[in-house]
Structure 1
Amino acid sequence: MPASATAPSTTSPAPAPTPSPAGAHFPQVMPASEPVTLTIDPIGLRTELLHLGLRDNGSLEVPEDTGHGAPASWYNGSPTPGERGPAVILGHVNALGGAKGVFADLRELQPGNDIKVTRADGSTATFTVDRGELYSKNNFPTLEVYGNTDAAELRLITCDGYDPATGLFDDNYVIYASLKT
């Protein structure tokens, strides 16, 4: 995502957890620990992670590209990777000057590929890619991407669908992944 592109917006933080039926069984999760690095071996990616939140208008902050590319960023309003719910990590598809962004190769990921997030407590949360989806920014499924889940999940989000006429990206590409247990 170039700095001028808008990230999928949310008008409020992720929805509150829905009470579960008595006796419901939930998958194993990890305790909270902020993410430090993201590694995706199948696409040769390793990036330090920034921690960003929401802008005043409710849209997601995106990592600033200083001309040398930008690292990916964990959305600090989402669970930490490995906790119950969808941890959200954002990254640019390109960098200033036409270089590749940190998430330029997300579309190459296949179901079954591993994604590793090193956490501040020294542990690693390993996720398995379930699928990738392309969404128009005008019809972005906010609840599906950011809504609560019973398991620990990961969402990687980048821009897609560059329109040379406007200089903007019309779409977002989202990788959905589940904690490997």
Structure 2
Amino acid sequence: MSSQILAGYLASRYGGRLVIGVTVLGGALITLLSPLAANLNVYTFIGLRAILGFFQGSTFPAMHHLWSVWAPPLERSLLTGISYAGAQIGNVLVMPISGLLCKYGFAGGWPSIFYILGVFGLLWCILWFCFVADSPQKHRSISEKERNYIVGSLRESGGKDTDHEQNVEHRCVPLFESS
């Protein structure tokens, strides 16, 4: 839970692209180090896996921040659903592959799971930092028509990525009335 709160804050301050990229990069490096940690000491391995969980817990709040500036309001629930489904589909694919690697993989079988998944994580990070932008305005290859559609639909709905300040009246309501 603490990583989710921190990631939401960091994504709103520095952008979802950076938070997701850094957490996946950290997770990939931790995954690559996991066989070494397991051979050193079981507690080192458990600690490393706990840190990995902290990193992975950061992904979804940062993803929500990205969708808040990228997804047109009428498409947001579908796109968010696809993102959540993609995470589960990845788990479904990795489990049988891990079984095969455990039996037939290099480095004694089970370590190959960590090495291969760690390398894939590093490759994913390279693609992520090359092709993802924090907003349509910052993306290098999006068409002007698509950029205008996204930004315009967000502006119409009063979404996060508007150029105008929201006309929202904020009032302080005391929790306790003094007599």
TM tier, shorter chain? under 0.3
- Larger Rg over CA atoms: 2
More strand by share: 1
TM-score by length of 2: 0.21
TM-score by length of 1: 0.21
